[in-house]
Amino acid sequence: MRIALAQINYHVGNFDYNADRMLAAINDARNHGADLVVFSELSVCGYPPRDLLLSDAFIKRCMEAVNQVAAGCTEVAAIVGGPYPNTDKGGKSLHNSAFLLYGGQVQQVYHKGLLPTYDVFNEYRYFEPAREFHTVSYGGERIALTVCEDIWNLDGQGMYPVNPPDILKKENPALMINISASPFTWNHSPGRIRIMSENARKYQMPLFTANLVGGQTGLIFDGASTVFNSSGQLVDMLPLFGEDLRIYDLSMLDTVKTKPLPTHPTQEEKCHLIYNALVLGIRDYFRKTGLKKALIGLSGGVDSAVTLVIAAEALGKENVWAVLLPGPYSTEHSVDDAIALATNLGVRHDTISINDAVSSLRNSLASQFQDTRPGIAEENIQARARAVILMGLSNKFGHLLLNTSNKSEAAVGYSTLYGDMCGGLSVLGDVYKTDVYGLARLINASGEVIPENTISKPPSAELKPNQKDTDSLPEYEVLDGLLNCLFEKQMDAKEIIREGYNSALVRRVIKMVYGSEYKRYQSPPILRVSSKCLGTGREMPLDAAYGALDY
C-alpha cells in the first residue's frame, strides 16, 4: 500500500475551498501512484470551528463536504476529518470523527474517544466521546485509525481512563494512522514526536500522522506531519509551517534510512520557530479575514520594530504602513531610529505629532485635575492620544492596526487600556521581552535592519522625562523568569521563591499580574507561541480573592 500524507492549510467554514484543496491533493496523489490519502482532523470544516458546531446548517454543510470529497475517491481512498451526528440516545449531539472514503462514498467512520478539554481545547463542549473502538479496513489491511488525542494516553500517562490504541491493537492492525490538529508552541514538537514514536514502538507497527498547518485566529498549527516505522524510528517529517504532499510505500518503511528525533530547541532555534510562526499567524489572519493592509505605531522601541519587520515579511512591504507619533517626551534618537527602520524595510512611513492632541486633552481636564500632582493619568493621556490617531487612520483607510505589546508588559499590566493595548491582532502578546530581543538579534543576523540603538538602549515608554521601564519593573531577565514560573510552570508564590526569587518581588509581581486581569479581558486576539498564552487558554476570574500569594 502506498500512503500519501496531505498537509493542507484549511479555512474554517470555507467548505468549497477545503473540499477543492482535498480533491486536488487526491488527484495529485493518484497520479503519483498513491492508494490512500490522509488529511488532518476536522479537515472538511477547518479547526477549530468552535460554536459554529452548534449550528445545524453548519453540520449539514460538513456532511455535504464529506460526500463531495468522497465522490472524488473512485480510484484512490482517503481519510478525512469532520463532525458526525451522534445517533445514540443521550450525550452530545456530535462526534469528532474520521471518515474512510473510497468507491465514491463513505465506507467506515471512526469516532474520537479522548476529547481534550484543557488549555486552548474545549472539545467536550461539542462532542461525545466514542465508547467503542474498532479498526477500519482498506487494501486488505486493518488500520488502527485514531484522531489526535487518542494516542496521547499512552500507558495511562494522560488524564483519561481508556487508551484507544490498546483496544485497537487487539484486532491485529497492520498500521496506525492518526489525524490531528495539534497547535504550535515553540517547545511542543519534541514531546509530540516522542509520544508518536513511543506509540509506533509499543504497538510494533508503522504510524502515519497528518497534522494541520496554518493560522486560525490566535492559534498557529505547524504541520510537521510524520511517518514512523514499526520500531518507532522517524522515517520522515513534513515541513514546519508549510503545505506539502508526500507518498510512502508501506512495505519499505523498515528498510529506509531514518532521521534523528528532534531535541529541545536552542535559544537561536527557539527564536527561528517563533519568528516563522508569527509570520504565518499574521499572513493567515489577514488572508482568512479578507484584510490586506496593516498599520503599526512605530515608536523607535524594539517591540514595534520587531512587529514591523515580521508584518512586512508576512504581508509584503507595500501592505504595511508605519506611523510615528512623537510626543512631549519622545527622544530625537527614537524618531531617527524609527525612520531608519522604515527606510531599511522600504515601507511607507508618516510622522504625526501628538502634542496638540495631548495639550487639548489636558486643557479639557484642567479644572478636574487642578491641585493634583501629575502622574499616571497624564502619562496615559499620551498613549490614548496615539491610539485615537491610529484608530482614526485604521477606520479611514481600512488598515488593521497591529498591537505591539509584549507578553512581559501584558502580564503585569504595564500597558495602557485604550492606549497602546489597541489593535485588531496582538503579534507579540505571547512573546516575553527577552525573546523579543532574541528576535531582533535574529533579524539583524545578516546585517542591520533594526538600528542597533533600538536594541541596545534601555527600554522606555517615553511618557515622562528620562523614563525607563526599570523605574516600574525589575530587569526583564528577572521578570521573565519569574513570569515563566507563574504561567508556564504553574507555580505559586512559595514555589517561585524556592527557585531563588526575592520574596517581596514575587509578591509584587503576582499582585500586578492578578490586578491587571481586567485589562487582558479587553485585549485583541494574541498569536499563541507558548504553552500558556495570556489569551486563549487562560481563563481567570476578575474578582477572586486568591492570587497565588498565600504561603
Packing angle of the helix pair 503-515, 476-486 (nearest 10 deg): 70
Residue 439 C-alpha cell reads as 528576535
Domain count for the chain: 2
* H-run or E-run covering 337: helix 332-345
| Residues 277, 242 share a domain | no
| Residues 90, 115 share a domain | yes
Q: Which of 236, 262, 288 is the last residue of a domain?
A: 262
Calpha distance 295→302 (Å, rounded)? 17
Q: How far is CA 538 from CA 121, 490, 531, in A?
A: 11, 11, 10
Per-residue confidence (pLDDT) for residue 336, from 0 to 100 = 93
Per-residue confidence (pLDDT) for residue 531, from 0 to 100 = 93
Q: Lay out the sheet containing 425-426: strands in order across.
A: 348-351, 320-324, 294-297, 400-403, 425-426
Residues 123, 126, 130, CA angle at the centre, nearest 5°?
75
Report yes or no on 253 lying in a domain.
yes
Mean pLDDT for the stretch of residues 457-471? 83
DSSP letters along 170-181, please? TT--SEEEEEE-
Mean pLDDT for the stretch of residues 142-161? 90
Calpha distance 260→240 (Å, rounded)? 16
Q: Which of 468, 501, 530 is the last residue of a domain?
A: 468
Per-residue confidence (pLDDT) for residue 214, from 0 to 100 = 98
Give the number of other CB atoms < 10 A from CB of residue 137. Answer: 15
CATH number of the domain residue 131 falls in: 3.60.110.10
Closest by CA position to 6, among listed 22, 27, 30: 22
Instruction: Provide the β-strand partners of residue 14.
Output: none
pLDDT single digits (tens) 393-420: 999 999 999 999 999 999 999 999 999 9
Catalytic residue among 41, 123, 378, 409: 41
What is the distance, to the nearest Å, from the Cα of residue 529 to the centroid of all Cα atoms in its chain?
Answer: 5
Mean pLDDT, rounded, of the chain: 95
- Residue 75 phi, psi (nearest 5): -115, -10
Calpha distance 71→99 (Å, rounded)? 13
| Residues 361, 272 share a domain | yes
Report yes or no on 334 lying in a domain.
yes
Per-residue confidence (pLDDT) for residue 535, from 0 to 100 = 84
Report yes or no on 520 lying in a domain.
no
Per-residue confidence (pLDDT) for residue 546, from 0 to 100 = 61
Calpha distance 278→431 (Å, rounded)? 10
Report yes or no on 282 lying in a domain.
yes
Burial class (CB in 10 A: 0-12, 13-18, 19+), 279: buried
Catalytic residue among 62, 73, 148, 271: 148
| Residues 241, 288 share a domain | no
pTM of the model: 0.95
Report yes or no on 396 lying in a domain.
yes
| Residues 283, 232 share a domain | no
The band of 459, judged by pLDDT with boundaries at 50, 70 and 90, is confident
The band of 135, judged by pLDDT with boundaries at 50, 70 and 90, is very high
The band of 540, judged by pLDDT with boundaries at 50, 70 and 90, is confident
Per-residue confidence (pLDDT) for residue 551, from 0 to 100 = 46
Calpha distance 399→185 (Å, rounded)? 28
pLDDT single digits (tens) 41-91: 999 999 999 999 999 999 999 999 999 999 999 999 999 999 999 998 889
Report yes or no on 6 lying in a domain.
yes
pLDDT single digits (tens) 78-94: 999 999 999 988 899 99
Mean pLDDT for the stretch of residues 267-296? 97
Per-residue confidence (pLDDT) for residue 542, from 0 to 100 = 83
- Above pLDDT 70, what percent of the chain? 99
Mean pLDDT for the stretch of residues 199-207? 97
Report yes or no on 288 lying in a domain.
yes
Rg value, the chain, Cα: 26
Per-residue confidence (pLDDT) for residue 467, from 0 to 100 = 83
pLDDT surpassing 80 at residue 184: yes
| Residues 314, 404 share a domain | yes
Report yes or no on 534 lying in a domain.
no
| Residues 334, 231 share a domain | no
| Residues 377, 275 share a domain | yes
Mean pLDDT for the stretch of residues 141-165? 91
Calpha distance 501→458 (Å, rounded)? 23
| Residues 214, 192 share a domain | yes
Closest by CA position to 382, among listed 347, 351, 341, 353: 353
Q: Which of 262, 291, 309 is the last residue of a domain?
A: 262
Query: Which domain covers residue 448, as residue numbers?
Result: 268-468
- Residue 350 phi, psi (nearest 5): -135, 155
Give the number of other CB atoms < 10 A from CB of residue 271. Answer: 23
CATH number of the domain residue 313 falls in: 3.40.50.620
| Residues 277, 200 share a domain | no
pLDDT surpassing 50 at residue 464: yes
Calpha distance 519→508 (Å, rounded)? 18
| Residues 133, 33 share a domain | yes
Closest by CA position to 384, among listed 406, 364, 411: 364
Q: Is 148 a catalytic residue?
A: yes
| Residues 325, 220 share a domain | no
pLDDT surpassing 70 at residue 550: no
pLDDT single digits (tens) 216-232: 999 999 999 999 999 99
Per-residue confidence (pLDDT) for residue 549, from 0 to 100 = 59
Catalytic residue among 73, 112, 271, 378: 112
